[in-house]
Structure 1
Amino acid sequence: MQDTHSGSVESQSLHKHSVAALTIGAIGVVFGDIGTSPLYAFREALHHSAPLGGIQDTAIFGVLSLALWSLILVVTVKYIIFLMRADNDGEGGVLAQLALAGRGMGGRKGAVLALGAAGAALFYGDAILTPALSVLSAVEGVKTIPNIGDNISQKTIIGITLLIMLGLFAIQFRGTAMVSKLFGPICVIWFVTIGALGVMHIASYPAILGALSPHHAVSFLSNNGMIGLIVLGSVFLTVTGAEALTADMGHFGRLPIRLGWFLLVFPALSLNYFGQGAFAMVALEQAQAAGIALETRDWFFLMSPEALRIPMIILTGLATIIASQAVITGAYSLTQQAIQLGLLPRMKIVQTSAGSAGQIYIPAINWMLLFGVCVLVLEFGNSSAMASAYGIAVTGTMVVTTCLAFVVVHKLWHWSLGKSLLVITPFLAIDLIFFGANILRVFEGGWVPLALGAFICLLIWIWVRGKRLIDLKENDGAMTLTELGRSLSKSAITRVAGTAVYMTANPEGVPGTILHNMKHYRVLHERNIVLTVRTASVPYVPQDERATYEKIDANFTRVTLRYGFMDTPDVPADLAFAIPKNDTPLHAIMTSYFVGRNMLQASKDEGLPFWQDIILIFLQRNAYNPAEFFNIPSNQIVAIGAQVVV
C-alpha cells in the first residue's frame, strides 16, 4: 500500500510539473501578441478620442472601460471559455474550425470552404502586421529616454526596426526549439513588470478603478457618435492576438492556456491599462492646472521611471520579438494545414526539430512575410499610422471563426437552431461591431490587410477550382482497376520485376500513369500498388490507423494513406508499414513511385477564364516536388504526364 501511495504522489507531482511547464510555455508563445498590445492600444484610442479639443476625463474612463470589457467579453468569455471547447482533437485555429465544420456538414461545402479560405487569408495580413507594428512600437520607445530620445530621428528608428526584422527572419531556418525555452520566462517577467507598473500608478489615482463599471463605456459611445466608433476600432487593438489562444491549443492544451490567462496575463494586462488610465488622469489634472489641452503621449513607456527606462525598452524589445516569432510560427502551421487540406500548392516544409513535429520552417512563406513586413515599415513610417491597418485583419478573422463555430455547434454538436443562435449571435454581434468600427479606417491603411487577404483568397479559389477541373478531366471515362485486370488476362504484356507504386487522387479509376506506362513502355511491373493519399479532418492520424489495404486481383493492390492536416507525410515508411505480414515486404531498391506531372495549357474557349489559367499554371509549375513533399527518395520517383487543357 505504501508503494502504491508513493507512486500516486509521484504521478501527481509529475502532472503538476508538466502543467506548470506547459503554462509557462504558453505564456511565452500564446500570449505574446496580446501581451504587447498595451504598447499602442490605449495610446491610439485616446488619440482618436480628442480630434480637436484635447483629451477629457470622460474619454480616459470611457476608453479604459471599453478596453477592459473587450478583454472580458471577447477574450475571456468567447475564446477562453467557449471557443476552446470547439477543438479538433486538441487543435484549434480557423482551419481546424473549417475541418470541424466540414465534418458537421458532411463535406466542405462552398460557403464553409469560402469562410475558411477568407479566415486563413486574413491571418496572413495579421502575420505581417504584428511584427511590423509591435517591434516598431518597441523601438520608438527610445524617444522617451531623457537626453537621448530627442536626438534620434524616425529614419533611425525605421533602420533599427528593419535590422531586427532581417535578423529575426534570417534565423528562422535554424528553428526555435532552443530559444523558445526562454520565451516563457521572459514573458512571465514581462507580464509581472507591466502589472507592477500599473499598480504603481493606480496608487496615485485610485479612483481610476471605477472605470470597471460598463456605464463609462456605454456613455462614451452614446455621446460621441462617429468618434466613438473610430475609438472603438482602436480599442480593439487590446484584443489582437486572441486568435492565437485557440490556434496554439494543440501545442499546449486547454488547461495551461486557461491557467496562464486567469492567473497572470489577464490580471497583468488589466492592471497595466488601469495604470495607464491613472497616469493619464494625473497628466490631465496637471494640464488643466496649467490651462493647456492634454495631447496623447507614449503612456506605456512614460509610466516607467526614468532610471528604468532603458531596461524597460530592452525588455519590451524582447517581448515584441517573441510576439513576432509566435505569429511567424503560426503562419508556418497555417500554411502546412492549408497545403494538407488542398487549399494551396505544395511548398517545401523543413522540420527543424527531430523531437517535435510542430517545429517547421517554410522558406517561401518566411521570405514573403519578411518582404511584407519591410514594405509596411517603410510605407507607414510609424506605429500610429500602422495601427489603423491592424484591426481589420484580426476582426475579419474573428467574424469567420464565429461563423464557423455556429456551423460546428449546430451541425456537429447537434444543438438546436434556437440554442445555437442564442449562444453565437451575441459573439457575432460584438465581432461585427468591431469589424464595422475598423472598416471606417480603410483609407487610413486598413486597405492593406484587406487587399492582401483578397489576393490570397483569389489564389486559393483558383487553385481549388483548377485542381477539381484537372481531376475531372483525368477521371473522365476512366476504366476501373477490375476492368483493366480482366483485359490484362487476355493480353501478353511484358512483366518486369519489382514493385510499381502509382500515386493517384482517384483510387477507383485507373491512374493515367499506368496507362501511359503501358502505352509508351509496353510493360507492367509484377506488383502494382495504386496509392491514394488523403487528408483527414483531424490534426493527426495514428500510424496504425493510417492505411487501408485491399487486394484487387493478381495484378493490382489498392492502398489509401490518411494523414491529419498537421501530419508530415512519409509515404515510403507508412506504405511499408501498411503491407500485411503475410504479403511480400517492400524493398526500396526494387520499388518505383510513379507520379502524374501534367503539362497545363491555357485556353480561352474552355475551362477556367484565361487569366485564371495563367495563375493556375504558375502555381502548378512552382509547386514543390511531390517526391520531397511525400519524403520519397528522388532516385525512386518516375514522373509521367500528359497535356491538360484548363
Structure 2
Amino acid sequence: MPAEADPASIDAGAALADRGHGHRNEGLAKLAVGAIGIVFGDIGTSPIYAFRETFAGHHQLTPDGLHIYGVLSLVFWSMMLVVSIKYVTIIMRADNKGEGGSLALLALINRVSGNKRWTAPIVLLGVFATALFYGDSMITPAISVLSAVEGITTVEKDFAPFVLPLAMGILAGLFAIQSRGTEKVGQLFGPIMLVYFVTIAVLGIVHIAADPGILIALNPWYAIQFFLSDGLTAFLALGSVVLAVTGAEALYADMGHFGRNPIRVSWLFFVLPALMLNYLGQGAMILSLTPADAAVAIQNPFFLLAPESLRLPLVILATLATVIASQAVISGAFSVTQQAIQLGFMPRLRITHTSASAAGQIYIPVMNWGLMVMVMVLVLSFQTSSNLAAAYGIAVTGAMLIDTCLLAVVLFNLWKWNRFAAMAMLGIFFAIDFAYFGANLTKVPDGGWFPLMIGLIAFTLLTTWAKGRQLMMARMREAAMPISIFVDSAANSATRVPGTAVFMTSSPDGVPHALLHNLKHNKVLHERVILLTVKIADEPFVEQETRCKLEDLGQGFHRLIIRYGFMQEPDVPEALKRLTGCGPAFKMMDTSFFLARQTLLPSSRPGMAIWREKLFAWMLRNAESAMEFFRLPTNRVVELGSQVEI
C-alpha cells in the first residue's frame, strides 16, 4: 500500500509549488514577470513559424477562408485543452514538494507507490520522456534562432546568404557564454519578453481591427468543419499545428523556479491572449490579400504583420526572444541532467555553479559543448527553419503522451479520483496526444527520425547506467563481509593510528572494499572510522535537521548515511562539520577520505548484454571523480582500486 502522506508535508509542498523554491518571499507580480522571461520563451516564439508551417510546410494548405479559420480554431483549442487545462490546471498540481518535470514526477510516484509491479514500466516511460527532452533541447535553439534570423529576408531579399552564418554565430555565442552564468543577463529576460509579447499582441490587434470577423475562428465548429471537409489533410496539418504548443511541458518543468500561481497568472492573463491575438492577426492579414499575394505572404506572415519601416526592429526583437527561449532550453538541459545524475540515471559529471545566490543556476561543460555541436550539425544539415520543422514536434508530442500516462498513475493511485471522471478526462487527453503524435509520425522520413534517434541513444545510456549500477552494487554486496564480524576481528588485531578515516561506500551494508584493501596493504586502522554512504532521496530537498543518520558500531567505528534531495548538490565536508555524536569535531587536516575506484570486468553472468556491460564500463571510466563530485579536499583523498565482475 502507498504510504499515507503527511498533511503538514502536503501543505508545505503546496505552498512551495505556489510560490517557488528560492523565491518564497518575492511578490506574485515579480515572479510572474520572471516566468514570462524564462518559462514562456519556447511557446512564445512559436508564432514566428507555427502558422507558416501549417500552410507552407511539408503538407501544404491553400490559404483560403476554410483552412485559415480551421487552423486558427485548432490552434486556439489546442492551447486551451493541452496547455490551459492539461498542464496549467491539472498536471501542475502533481508536484514533488514544489518541483515539476518528468523526473520529479517519476520520483514522486516511486516514493508514494513503493515497489508495485507496474512501477517498472512507468519508470521506463519517465526515463524515455527525459531522453526525448534531449532531442527537443537540440532542435529548439536551432529552429527558433534560424526562423527569427530568416526574417531579415523580409527586409531585404539580398540578405538571404547571410542567414545561415548569422544564425550560427548567434548560437555559438550563446553556448560560449554559458560558463559565465546568466544571472545578470537573466534580469533582462523578463522585460525583453514583456516587450516582445506586447509587440506581437499589438501587431495582431492592428490586423484584427481591420477584419474583426476573424474572431469567429475561435468557434470549435471551424476546426470540425476543416476535418469534415479535408479529412486526411486536416489530420496531417496537426503535425504543424502542434508547433503552436511546443514548450507547454516547460511550464511544468520550471514550476520549482517560479511556483504554480505565477506561471498560471502569466499564462492565462498575458501570454495566452498575446499569442492568440498574433495568430488571429496573421490569419486576418492573409485573408485581406488576393490569392496570389496570400501565397507569397504565407511564406513569412509573422514578420509581414509589421509595416516595412518597423520590420527590421521586429526581426531584432524576435531574434532576442529566440535567444532567450534557447537559453531557457539549455538551462533546462543542465537542470534535467543534474536530476538524472542525482537519481542514478547518469554517471557523475562536472557541475559548476554560476551564481552564489541562485542554487538552480548551474553549468555542465560536457552537456553544453555536446548540445552546441549537435545544434550546429542540425543548422548545417537542414539549412532552413522549414526543414527543421519536419524534425520538430515528434519529441514534444511523445513527451506529452508520456506525461498523460504518468498523469493517469497520479489520478488513480495518488489522488484517488473517481474512476469514471478520471477515465473520461484521460480519454480526451489521450485522443488529443495520439492524434498529434500520429500526425508527427508522418514526418519521420523528412527529419522526425533525428529526435527519435537522439531519444533512443539517450534512453540506452540512461537505462544502461541505471541497470549497470544496480548490478555492480549487487555483486559488491555478494562479496561484502558483515560489518559486525569485521569490527570484532580487526579492531583488536590492527594497529590504531591517530585521526579520522572516512570510507565512502555506495552500500549502507557490509564492509567497504576500500577499507579491506587499506587494512590488507597498510595494516593500520584510524582511531575513528566512518563508513559513509551518500543517498539521494526521491524528493527535491532534504532539510538539514534530517540529513544525517549516525550509527555507532563500537570500537571507534561509525556508520553514517547522509541524505540529499535530487535538486541539491552533495557537500560531504560541510555535512561532517555539522555532525555531532561521534567524538570530537571533524578537522579536515586530521581526516583522510578513502575511495574505491572499481574496474569492471564484463562477463557472461546474467544481467546485461556484453555490449551494454562494455558501454557501462566506458561510462564508469569517464565519470567525474567522486572526490570532486562530493567536494572532498583534494589533498586528503586516497583512491584504492578493485575489480568487479558484472
The TM-score range, normalised by the shorter chain, is: over 0.9
CA contact (8 A) 1:126 1:394 kept: yes
CA distance in 1: counterparts of 2:70 and 2:272, whole angstroms: 19
CA distance in 2: counterparts of 1:528 and 1:233, whole angstroms: 61
- Asked if residue 524 in structure 1 is aligned to residue 525 in structure 2, the reply is yes
Report the CA distance between 1:494 and its aligned residue: 1.1
Q: Deviations over 1:267-320 (max 9, x none)?
A: 10010011011011112xx227x9x96773200000101110011111001000
Counterpart amino acid of residue 258 in structure 2: F
**CA distance change for structure 1 residues 15 and 516 in 2, over 3 Å: closer, same or farther?**
closer
Structure 2 matches for 1:464-503, cutoff 5 A?
464-488=466-490, 491-503=492-504
**CA distance change for structure 1 residues 303 and 444 in 2, over 3 Å: closer, same or farther?**
same
- Asked if residue 591 in structure 1 is aligned to residue 591 in structure 2, the reply is yes
Q: Residue 642 of structure 1: SS of its match in structure 2?
A: strand
**Identical counterparts, % of pairs:** 48
Q: Which residue of 2 aligns with 1:138?
A: 148
Choose 235-244 or 532-541, whichever is displaced more.
532-541
CA contact (8 A) 2:146 2:384 kept: yes
**CA distance change for structure 1 residues 415 and 592 in 2, over 3 Å: closer, same or farther?**
farther
Q: Which residue of 2 aligns with 1:452?
A: 454
**CA distance change for structure 1 residues 482 and 417 in 2, over 3 Å: closer, same or farther?**
farther
Of the candidates 13, 35, 38, which is equivalent to residue 29 of structure 1? 38
Counterpart amino acid of residue 136 in structure 1: L
Of the candidates 130, 137, 146, which is equivalent to residue 127 of structure 1? 137
- Asked if residue 45 in structure 1 is aligned to residue 54 in structure 2, the reply is yes
Of the candidates 167, 182, 191, which is equivalent to residue 176 of structure 1? 182
Q: Residue 153 of structure 1: SS of its match in structure 2?
A: helix
Structure 2 matches for 1:414-563, cutoff 5 A?
414-415=416-417, 417-488=419-490, 491-563=492-564
Q: Which residue of 2 aligns with 1:60?
A: 68
Report the CA distance between 1:474 and its aligned residue: 0.7
CA contact (8 A) 1:122 1:394 kept: yes
- Asked if residue 162 in structure 1 is aligned to residue 168 in structure 2, the reply is yes
Report the CA distance between 1:616 and its aligned residue: 1.2
CA distance in 2: counterparts of 1:55 and 1:422, whole angstroms: 35
CA distance in 1: counterparts of 2:628 and 2:295, whole angstroms: 64
CA contact (8 A) 1:100 1:408 kept: no
Report the CA distance between 1:594 and its aligned residue: 1.3
Q: Which residue of 1 aligns with 2:114?
A: 106
Q: Which residue of 1 aligns with 2:7?
A: none
CA contact (8 A) 2:604 2:610 kept: yes
CA distance in 1: counterparts of 2:323 and 2:401, whole angstroms: 27
Q: Residue 535 of structure 2: SS of its match in structure 1?
A: strand
CA contact (8 A) 2:59 2:236 kept: no
- Asked if residue 229 in structure 1 is aligned to residue 235 in structure 2, the reply is yes
CA distance in 2: counterparts of 1:633 and 1:66, whole angstroms: 58
CA contact (8 A) 1:30 1:245 kept: yes
**CA distance change for structure 1 residues 15 and 633 in 2, over 3 Å: closer, same or farther?**
closer
CA distance in 1: counterparts of 2:25 and 2:276, whole angstroms: 27
Counterpart amino acid of residue 175 in structure 1: G
Of the candidates 134, 151, 154, which is equivalent to residue 158 of structure 2? 151
Choose 477-486 or 179-188, whichever is displaced more.
477-486
**CA distance change for structure 1 residues 198 and 295 in 2, over 3 Å: closer, same or farther?**
closer
Q: Which residue of 2 aligns with 1:5?
A: none
**CA distance change for structure 1 residues 293 and 261 in 2, over 3 Å: closer, same or farther?**
closer
CA contact (8 A) 1:503 1:531 kept: yes
Q: Residue 529 of structure 2: SS of its match in structure 1?
A: strand
CA distance in 2: counterparts of 1:150 and 1:480, whole angstroms: 76
Q: Residue 502 of structure 2: SS of its match in structure 1?
A: strand
CA distance in 2: counterparts of 1:596 and 1:222, whole angstroms: 66
CA distance in 1: counterparts of 2:575 and 2:341, whole angstroms: 19
**CA distance change for structure 1 residues 80 and 51 in 2, over 3 Å: closer, same or farther?**
closer
Report the CA distance between 1:601 and its aligned residue: 2.2
CA distance in 2: counterparts of 1:161 and 1:294, whole angstroms: 24
Q: Which residue of 1 aligns with 2:644?
A: 644
Q: Residue 179 of structure 1: SS of its match in structure 2?
A: helix
Structure 2 matches for 1:264-283, cutoff 5 A?
264-283=270-289
CA distance in 2: counterparts of 1:610 and 1:222, whole angstroms: 53
Q: Which residue of 1 aligns with 2:316?
A: 314
Q: Deviations over 1:92-140 (max 9, x none)?
A: 0111111111123214932122112101111111111110000000000
Report the CA distance between 1:17 and its aligned residue: 6.6
Structure 2 spans left out of the alignment, 5+ residues: 1-22
Counterpart amino acid of residue 367 in structure 2: I
Structure 2 matches for 1:594-613, cutoff 5 A?
594-603=594-603, 607-613=607-613
Counterpart amino acid of residue 34 in structure 1: I
Q: Which residue of 2 aligns with 1:90?
A: 98
Choose 343-352 or 541-550, whichever is displaced more.
541-550
Q: Which residue of 2 aligns with 1:383?
A: 385
CA distance in 2: counterparts of 1:599 and 1:48, whole angstroms: 52
Report the CA distance between 1:349 and its aligned residue: 0.3
The TM-score with structure 2 as length reference comes to 0.93
CA contact (8 A) 2:501 2:528 kept: yes
Q: Which residue of 1 aligns with 2:298?
A: 296
CA contact (8 A) 1:144 1:301 kept: yes
- Asked if residue 260 in structure 1 is aligned to residue 266 in structure 2, the reply is yes
CA distance in 2: counterparts of 1:364 and 1:17, whole angstroms: 34
Counterpart amino acid of residue 564 in structure 1: G
CA contact (8 A) 1:202 1:275 kept: yes
Q: Which residue of 2 aligns with 1:117?
A: 127
Choose 454-463 or 605-614, whichever is displaced more.
605-614
Report the CA distance between 1:566 and its aligned residue: 0.6
Report the CA distance between 1:472 and its aligned residue: 1.1
CA distance in 1: counterparts of 2:121 and 2:236, whole angstroms: 31
Report the CA distance between 1:615 and its aligned residue: 1.2
Q: Deviations over 1:469-492 (max 9, x none)?
A: 111111104222222122235x42
CA distance in 2: counterparts of 1:482 and 1:644, whole angstroms: 23
Q: Deviations over 1:36-93 (max 9, x none)?
A: 00000000112259748x3321111111100011111100001111111111111101
The TM-score with structure 1 as length reference comes to 0.93
Choose 405-414 or 39-48, whichever is displaced more.
405-414
CA distance in 1: counterparts of 2:270 and 2:425, whole angstroms: 28
CA contact (8 A) 1:195 1:271 kept: yes
- Asked if residue 623 in structure 1 is aligned to residue 604 in structure 2, the reply is no
Structure 1 spans left out of the alignment, 5+ residues: 1-13
CA distance in 1: counterparts of 2:642 and 2:69, whole angstroms: 68
- Asked if residue 287 in structure 1 is aligned to residue 291 in structure 2, the reply is yes
Counterpart amino acid of residue 637 in structure 2: I
CA contact (8 A) 2:32 2:263 kept: yes
- Asked if residue 19 in structure 1 is aligned to residue 28 in structure 2, the reply is yes
**CA distance change for structure 1 residues 305 and 517 in 2, over 3 Å: closer, same or farther?**
same
CA distance in 2: counterparts of 1:140 and 1:560, whole angstroms: 55
**CA distance change for structure 1 residues 495 and 417 in 2, over 3 Å: closer, same or farther?**
farther
**CA distance change for structure 1 residues 408 and 104 in 2, over 3 Å: closer, same or farther?**
farther
How many residue pairs were aligned? 622
CA contact (8 A) 1:195 1:269 kept: yes
CA distance in 2: counterparts of 1:348 and 1:232, whole angstroms: 41
Q: Which residue of 2 aligns with 1:395?
A: 397
CA distance in 1: counterparts of 2:25 and 2:504, whole angstroms: 47
**CA distance change for structure 1 residues 107 and 333 in 2, over 3 Å: closer, same or farther?**
farther
CA contact (8 A) 1:499 1:526 kept: yes
Q: Residue 560 of structure 2: SS of its match in structure 1?
A: strand
Q: Residue 31 of structure 2: SS of its match in structure 1?
A: helix
